[in-house]
Structure 1
Amino acid sequence: MPTPELSRRTFLRGVGVTMSLPWLESHNVWGVESPSTHPASDPPVRVGVLFAGNGFHGKEWWAKGKGRDMELGGVLAPLHDFREKLVFIKGLYNEEALKGNIHSSQTGNLLSGAPLASGGEIRSGTSFDQLLAQKHAGSTKVPSLVLGCEQPNPSVHKNYSMLYSSHISWTSPTSPTPLELFPALAFDRLFKDEAAKGDKSVLDAVLADAQDFRRDVSLSDRRKLDEYLESVREVEQRIERAGDRGELQGWKPTLAKPNVPRPADGVPQDIGEHMKLMCDILVLGFQTDATRVTTLKLNNDHSSLRFPQLGVDYMIHHLLSHTDTADWLKVNQLFTGQLAYIARKLDAIQEGERTALDNSMLMMCSSMLSGGTHDATQLPVILVGGGGGKLQGGRVLDYLKAPNRKMCSLYLSMLDKAGLHLDAFGDSKEALTDV
């Protein structure tokens, strides 16, 4: 049954299309009436997780200082403008990731802290993002959006399934959450009643309803509505162009021109463009409250991506991660640049007294600190955003010598800020102090 929160949300509708709206001062669109301490017009807290496999440059992943004076290592240089909204976390780890093999055993439980089954069997643990998805089931059109930019690897590596290294989100201990690799289908899932290519665009389908709605809102809301609809149109057009440019990154055609019709739901040949499209879709999902939980796996651990657009086409991502070179740093900055891109777009969206970034928690993480050492005894973790006013940025937190340095303790803290209060999760019964 629909919850009261869903029934009060403001939508634009058309034939086969439902599109929820961003925050508007003229309408309470975030849910049921509630006490004055949490008025109905308060935007929700969103959680986004970006994953980059194989760690980062061993000498350039660092931060020091605080606030505007915080200094960032080369890997984090794209996030310079967001130092006051960034929390650099050092020293956390998953104990279970130190067992088994590298890559698979370090990734399959990254968001759960669960023990992994070996011998080709698939068993991990429900990830924290999916607990949030369960909480929001019925409150948003899409409980969680699980995006990826590299196809899963079904092989086995050193007695562990490589599906572990291909998935960070797990719906249940035996079910990795299916990845959406195609931007068009991810877009359709947010805005269309069925994930299939329609006869006309989302905007065309809801245009009449949008025009009627526009007459009943304030002048500032009309401008905000126009800007939002234009951003939807821009993503639609880029997705259409992507369908003509190639298949998944890494596949190279043997002909100069295709001799068969291109699939309508193709993705860009350029991995950077693929990532950017997925980032745009994440932002749209948050902006419209179509979803409040998104994971974006930029690549697999043990990744085979190449980066010709960076002039780095001589080695796949996995092997490049073994070298702390200038080229490896370029690749790292491409990845952290996606987080900066999301942060900048969310920070430009005003939601009452805060921005959408202030109302979000974006986490970027990897399965190991450095690909050269495969070190999982301390993991690279940063948070960007305000968590609805509950997360203070501009800080460096070092837990390396703390009695509690479990990743699952961080997740307990994040879940609490997102409105899900648990006594325990994974291998932790204690939320992380200071976060």
Structure 2
Amino acid sequence: MSATNINRRRFLRAAGVTLGLPFFESFARASTPPSPQRFAFIYTPNGYFQKAIMPENPAPGLSPLTLTPTLQPLAPFKDDVTFITGLDRQFVPGTGVHAQAGSCWLTSSAPQETLDGGFPTNTTLDQMIARQTGSECALPSLELSTNDFADNKETRYFESISWYGPGYAANTEKNPRAVFQHLFGQARGGPGQSVLDTVLASAKDFEKRLGGEDRTKLGEYLESVRATEQRIQRAEAASRRLPRPPLPEPAGIPEQRGDYLRLMADLFVHAFQNDLTRVATLLIDPERWDSPRMYHGVFDKPQNHHVITHTKGDEAKEKLAKIDLFHVQFYAHVIDRLKTVNLLESTTLVMGSGISDGDQHNYGDLQVLVAGGGWKRGHLHYEGRRPLADLWLTMARQAGVKQERFADSSGVLKELA
């Protein structure tokens, strides 16, 4: 993404966003335009405990979903979920195995395209979709994280899954209160006031003294300014449609881990419901972060997820299975919330990790959960090499992104669409 686009995005964030009426699916069905598609990507670090999440001897292709021990919380939503397994990513030597797992999970660069030092980071799938749909919303996308660790011992490559372009990680918001104010706070400038009138007037006066090529450049700049102004005006109009937010303003980060995750998910669900944005990412925790994490209601003391993945013995395996189950329970909660507000069928809800087995650092045989979005249901399993990028290409096409390839894709997943 160009510096101009990045600055425009930062300007929008600084301007603030207001609240609109919920999007009513019944209205969408009664009208000619189809319901807008929404996409949410949830990232869990360090892979999954394979014996508890994978069924034994899965058949290639699409088959009924088997609820393994880890997937048991999805029982009420079995007809809403697709479990995709056997997808691969290629690790690029020269950088950390965990760093690439998260930062390149959604990347649009092929493994050999290392445009960010040794990293193949590039514009991620969520940002590509945001470029396609963001002009219709107050916020192009929403980047969230439930990493509340204060010890920033790792670089952005371990905790950034959304990227504007090579080397440009999207800043995530970790405090629910700040997210609330960002989504539902009063936009600056007041209803009907054009905050960019002065800029536009000065630019037009300056245009008279420019040559043809420079006028073209200035015209492109003014178009970007107008797009920003229109987005601010949409935010202001939204604030007039609904007098108060749909939930109380959070005091900050909840003490209980489960409450924290659910609150952040509820915030992006409300953003979808009010059509403030149609794209969201949520990082559950960074890769390889060795600070012990408390999983309330699961363990009586904090656990180091990364270290446990490299610990032998049955006790460590049981702990990994419990952590995975905790995250799938959260995923089931988000599915339930989207169903409750009648948004699940128009929302593609994804959860996955950039490695499969955390002990072996395996970039192959990845598991991805997909709910909603109108996709075919069941267990979709691939034998042999099928790039993860094929899934992202399939979703990009669904969102209207006109792109022949995505990273190292070989084609769309015809069994899914």
TM-score (norm 1): 0.70
Instruction: Identify the residue that residue 145 of structure 1 maps to in structure 2.
Output: 142
Give the residue type in structure 2 aligned to 1:424. R
Tell me which amino acid in the other structure corresponds to 2:161: I
**Structure 1 residue 434 corresponds to structure 2 residue 415:** yes
Matched, 1:18 2:13: no
Partner of 2:352: 365
Matched, 1:392 2:396: no
Maintained 8 Å contact 2:387/2:410: no
What secondary structure does 1:382 align onto?
strand
* Greater mean deviation of Cα atoms: 331-340 or 106-115: 106-115
* 1:39 correspondence with 2:3: no
Displacement after TM superposition at 1:285 (Å): 1.2
Shift of 1:313: 2.1
Q: Distance in 2 between matches of 1:382 and 1:308?
A: 22
1:408 maps onto 2:389 in alignment: yes
Shift of 1:377: 1.7
Matched to 2:376, the amino acid is: Q
Aligned-partner SS, 1:425: coil
CA contact (8 A) 2:108 2:125 kept: no
Distance 1:430 1:69 in 2: 24
**Change in 2 beyond 3 A, CA 1:276/1:79:** same
Could you tell me which residue of structure 1 aligns to residue 336 of structure 2?
A: 344
Q: Offset of 1:363 from its aligned partner?
A: 0.9
CA change 1:409–1:69 in 2 (3 A) is closer
- Shift in Å, 1:70: 2.9
Structure 2 distance, partners of 1:298, 1:75, is 17
What runs of 5+ residues in structure 1 fail to find an aligned partner? 1-15, 31-35, 157-161, 196-204, 212-228, 244-266, 351-355
Partner of 2:304: 316
Q: Relative to structure 2, which stretch is displaced further, 308-317 or 176-185?
A: 308-317
SS in 1 for 2:131: helix
Change (3 A) 1:72 1:207: same
Distance in 1 (alpha carbons) for counterparts of 2:20 and 2:326? 31
- The alignment's C-alpha RMSD in Å is 3.2
Structure 1 residues 67 and 413 mapped into 2: Cα distance closer, same or farther (>3 Å)? closer
- Cα distance change, pair 77–99 in 1 and its aligned pair in 2 (3 A): farther
Write the distance in 2 (CA, Å) between the matches of 1:90 and 1:46. Answer: 23
Percent identity, aligned pairs only? 27
Q: Cα distance, 1:127 vs. partner?
A: 0.5
* More helix, by proportion: 2
1:307 and 1:100 map into 2 onto residues whose CA distance is: 29
1:169-222 deviations in Å (ceiling 9; x for gaps): 101111111011011111222222459xxxxxxxxx9998558xxxxxxxxxxx
Q: Does 1:425 align with 2:406?
A: yes
**Aligned CA distance change for structure 1 residues 209 and 401 (closer, same or farther; 3 Å):** closer
Aligned twin of 2:165: 172
Shift of the 312–170 alpha-carbon distance from structure 1 to 2, 3 Å rule, reads farther
Q: What are the superposed Cα offsets for residues 5-60 of structure 1, whole Å, 9 maximum, x if unpaired?
A: xxxxxxxxxxx8731222337866x9xxxxx9x823x3211111000000111211
Is 1:51 the counterpart of 2:43? The answer is yes
Trace 1:224-263 onto structure 2 (pairs within 5 A).
232-234=245-247, 236-237=248-249, 239-240=250-251, 243=252
1:273 alignment partner AA: D
Aligned residue number for residue 204 of structure 2:
none
Query: In 2, are the aligned partners of 1:147 and 1:294 still within 8 Å (CA)?
Result: yes
How far does residue 421 in structure 1 lie from its aligned partner after superposition?
A: 2.8
Change (3 A) 1:392 1:123: closer
Structure 2 matches for 1:92-131, cutoff 5 A? 92-96=87-91, 100-112=95-107, 114=109, 115=111, 124-131=121-128
Residue matched to 1:299: 285
Letter in 2 for 1:176: A
Q: CA offsets, 1:86-142, max 9 Å, x none?
A: 111111112245764321122221101534869987761110100111112321111
TM-score with structure 2 setting the length: 0.73
C-alpha contact 2:87 2:366 (8 A) present in aligned 1: yes
| Distance (whole Å) between structure 1 residues aligned to residue 115 and residue 17 of structure 2 | 44
Deviations 1:279-318 (A, max 9, x none): 1012111111111100000100113351252225253121
Aligned length: 341
Q: Which letter does structure 1 place at the counterpart of 2:347? A: S
Q: CA deviation at 1:374?
A: 1.7
Could you say what secondary structure the match of 2:180 adopts? Answer: helix
| 1:275 match: secondary structure | helix
